[in-house]
Amino acid sequence: MLRYWWLGLIFIALLFLPLVIGEFWVHVAIEILILGLFAVSFNMIFGYMGQLSFGHAAYFGVGAYATGLLLVKTSVPLPVALAVSMVTAGLFALVIGYFCVRMTGIYFAILTMAFGQMLYYIIFQWYSFTGGDDGLQGIVPPAWLMSAWAYYYFTLFIVVAAMIVMWFISESPFGYTMRSIRENADRTRFIGINVRKYMLINFVVAGMFAGLAGGLLGPFNRSIAPDLCNWHQSGVPVFMTVIGGPLGFFGPMIGSVIYTFLFAFVTGFTEYWPLTIGLVIVFVVLFMPGGVLGLAQSKFKTLGARDSMAETQGSMDTET
Partner 1 sequence: MDASLVFAQFLSGLSRGMMLFLIASGLSLIFGVMNILNFAHATLWLVGAYVCYTFWFLMQDYAFGLWLSIPLAALVLAAIGWVIEVVLIRRVYNRELPEQLLLTYAMVLILGDLIKIIWGVEDKLIERPPLVEGPVFIFGMPFDSYFIFVILIGLSVAVGLWWFLKKTRYGHIVRAAVFSREMVSALGIPIPRIYTGVFALGIFIAGLAGAVQAPVGSITLGMDMAVIIQAFCVVVIGGFGSLLGTFVAALIVGEVYAFSILFWPQGALVLIFIVTAFILIIRPWGLFGTPTRA
293 is a contact residue toward partner 1 (CB under 8 A):
no
Q: Figure out which of the listed residues 41, 43, 88, 117 binds partner 1, where binding follows CB under 8 A.
A: 117
Interface region with partner 1, contact rule CB under 8 A, candidates 68-76, 86-94, 277-285, 298-306: 277-285
121 is a contact residue toward partner 1 (CB under 8 A):
yes
Nearer to partner 1, 6 or 98 (CB): 98
52 is a contact residue toward partner 1 (CB under 8 A):
yes
Number of residues that bind partner 1 (CB under 8 A): 42
Q: Figure out which of the listed residues 159, 242, 258, 296 binds partner 1, where binding follows CB under 8 A.
A: 242
130 is a contact residue toward partner 1 (CB under 8 A):
no
Minimum distance from residue 271 beta carbon to partner 1 (Å): 8
State the DSSP string of the chain.
-GGGHHHHHHHHHHHHHHHHS-HHHHHHHHHHHHHHHHHHHHHIIIIIT----S-THHHHHHHHHHHHHHHHHS---HHHHHHHHHHHHHHHHHHHHHHHTT--HHHHHHHHHHHHHHHHHHHHH-HHHH-GGG-EE--PPPGGG-SHHHHHHHHHHHHHHHHHHHHHHHHSHHHHHHHHHHH-HHHHHHTT--HHHHHHHHHHHHHHHHHHHHHHHHHHHSEE-GGGGSHHHHHHHHHHHHHH-TTSTTHHHHHHHHHHHHHHHHTTT-S-HHHHHHHHHHHHHHH-TTHHHHHHHHH-TTS--SS-HHHHHTT--S--
Instruction: Please list every residue from 87 through 106 that binds partner 1, using CB under 8 A.
Output: 99, 102-103, 105-106
235 is a contact residue toward partner 1 (CB under 8 A):
yes
Contact positions vs partner 1 (CB under 8 A): 46, 52, 54, 99, 102-103, 105-107, 109-111, 113-115, 117-118, 121-122, 125, 230-232, 235, 238-239, 242, 246, 272, 274-275, 277-279, 281-282, 285-286, 289, 316-318
